Structure 1
Amino acid sequence: MAHNLAQCRVLVQKAVAAGAKALFLPEASDYIAPNASTSLSLCLPASTSPFVLGLRDLARNHNMPINVGIHEPATTSGSGSITKIKNTLIWISASGEITHQYHKLHLFDVSIKNGPVLKESQSVEPGSQLTEPFDTVIGKLGMLICFDLRFPEPSLSLRHRGAQILTYPSAFTVPTGQAHWETLLRARAIETQSYVIAAAQCGVHDAPPEGEGKRRSYGHGMVVDPWGRVVAELGGEGGVKLDIGEIAVADIDLGVVEKVREEMPLARRTDVYPQVL
């Protein structure tokens, strides 16, 4: 986690130098473990995690809000050991306070041909509710995480509740990223007429125990506007461990949100099908 915090420190410095008003970091920025037992052993409460405390200091010192994915303990055994964790997305204000958080609803349990077998539910407890969209320096933000991207209902619900921007911090696998990543992000932006910000893990993660396949993330972090245009995109490294992370910078123009929604009103036929609330 110390290595990841150092990476994030570089990204904060790059964001400040670029004049960004907020920084969006990927899902599981604190660590990606090779298996459930390792993940449980690494997990710390946000209140004591050196990674989170370090980011709070960075936000405060640079007056820079940070949106970042982390792990938190969810349930413990009678002996006090952690038995389940939460895949959490937090908003750290420019004053360094954690003001909002969201727990991932949809867990990634898949067996990909010629790819990894991943069972997030072995160690992660799913969230039970959406976090209400909230005002930020760039607009009203709705928070979702990675595999939530495959489900239009939560994004439509956040749009109904007033979101102008949706976040999908992610760690997509290479096969699923190549097949679906950009298509899904553009679809969520178009159907909600919102900006979509998707920070992404990239490259090879720490070496796994012997006999287990290496975990690779697709990368290609991007920002999509309400018309479905990709307005910023980073690269991807399917098989290379990156030494230094990169940022993409995009203008979030709420006038574009208003224009798209006014010129193409989406009148729901809730007399025929249920309204997503």
Structure 2
Amino acid sequence: MRTALLQLNVSDDPVANLEGTLGYLRQAAAEGAEFVLTPEVTNCVSTSRTHQNAVLQHEEDDITLAALQAEAKALGIWLLIGSLGLKTRDADGRFANRSFMIDPLGDVVARYDKIHMFDVDVSPEETWRESQGYRPGTQAVVAETAFGPVGLTICYDLRFPKLHAALAGAGAHILTVPAAFSPVTGAAHWHTLLRARAIETGCFVLAPAQTGLHASAAHKTRRTYGHSLVVTPWGEVQMDAGDVPGVYITDLDMGEVAKARGRVPSLENARPFDGP
């Protein structure tokens, strides 16, 4: 199956970002991609909750979702929108960080809200409190597709192996990890964690990422790590996009899932235990 990971460098302007994403999507389809994936927060990278409140929309009104659904239908492809920042009607006003699986008819066949919030102190100069602006999801999701079941995760979810084990246990053959990873933690942990999740589950891991310095007209800018990866079920890095935005094409042999799980059947060998 020919797959394309879109590595993006979006700004805090959803309208401006959409044009570039559509261009990459069309390029991927022209190069034969059947399944295209975009990174976390495809519509807007922003460090300002005030700005996000001004530019983000509810799901039913979101221009990025509507346009990408229409384009997936026009191109006849499967599309994972890694995530969109969306307004909710929660009383506390927090947003959703939501991933969408779109089929070749342009329909949403699965949606997933990021469960694990990035509340960390990377260094004295870099602290994050995602939960102040975004409310966590509660439901793990496996999307049924023409090429097999796909387990949906987002960015910081990567650090929680029980989620990925549950998705693989529910039938997933592919795990998606769209991200906007910090350069510090990316350099230290990104490749290792993605390879570990693939090895543990015998799944392909597809991780489209944001990259570079993200333009902002109104507030502090943000930098992300890039290195969109495709990891095989045996834990090998099949593709590394480096730090340049663009369309990155690779072919997946879905037979590798059964092959890896046959060699090391860790999902079958897992046992419940007590304690400690």
Is the TM value for this pair above 0.5? yes
TM-fit CA distance, 1:99? 1.6
1:74 aligns to what? Answer: 88
CA distance in structure 1 between the partners assigned to 2:94 and 2:272 by the alignment? 42
Q: Which residue identity lines up with residue 98 of structure 1 in the other structure? A: V
1:61-107 alpha-carbon deviations (Å, 9 max, x no partner) = 11112111112223345xxxx71111000011111111210000000
Deviation of residue 209 (structure 1)?
4.7
Q: Do 2:109 and 2:143's aligned partners in 1 also have CA atoms closer than 8 Å?
A: no
Provide the TM-score with structure 1 as the length reference: 0.88
Aligned counterpart, 1:205:
214
Counterpart amino acid of 1:97?
A: D
The root-mean-square deviation of aligned C-alpha atoms, in Å, is 1.8
For each residue in 1:128-184, what CA deviation from the matched residue of structure 2 results, as whole angstroms up to 9, or x when unmatched? 1111x2322332100000000000010000010000000000000110111100000
Q: TM-score, normalised by structure 2?
A: 0.89
Q: Which deviations, in whole Å up to 9, do the C-alpha atoms of 1:22-54 show, x marking residues without a partner?
A: 100000001011222222222212221111111
Aligned-pair CA distance for 1:205: 1.2
The amino acid of 2:151's aligned partner reads G
- Structure 1 range deviating more: 154-163 or 2-11: 2-11
Residues 34 and 206 of structure 1 are in contact (CA less than 8 Å); yes or no, is this contact kept in structure 2?
A: no
Mapping for residues 1-277 of structure 1, pairs under 5 Å = 1-68=14-81, 69-77=83-91, 83-113=93-123, 115-131=125-141, 133-207=142-216, 209=218, 212=220, 214-236=221-243, 245-266=245-266, 267-273=268-274
Measure how far apart 1:194 and its partner are. Answer: 0.3
Say whether the 8 Å CA contact 1:74–1:85 is kept in structure 2: yes
The answer to whether the 8 Å contact 1:222/1:248 transfers is no
Q: For 2:253 and 2:189, how far apart are their aligned partners in 1?
A: 26
% of aligned pairs identical? 32
Report the CA distance between 1:206 and its aligned residue. 2.4
Q: How many residues align?
A: 260
Deviates more, 1:166-175 or 1:248-257: 248-257
Q: CA contact under 8 A between 1:21 and 1:137: conserved in structure 2?
A: no
> 1:271 & 1:89 partners in 2: Cα distance?
31
Higher strand share: 2
- 8 Å CA contact retained: 2:46, 2:216: no
- For residue 271 of structure 1, report the CA deviation from its aligned partner: 4.7
Give secondary structure in 2 for the equivalent of 1:67.
strand
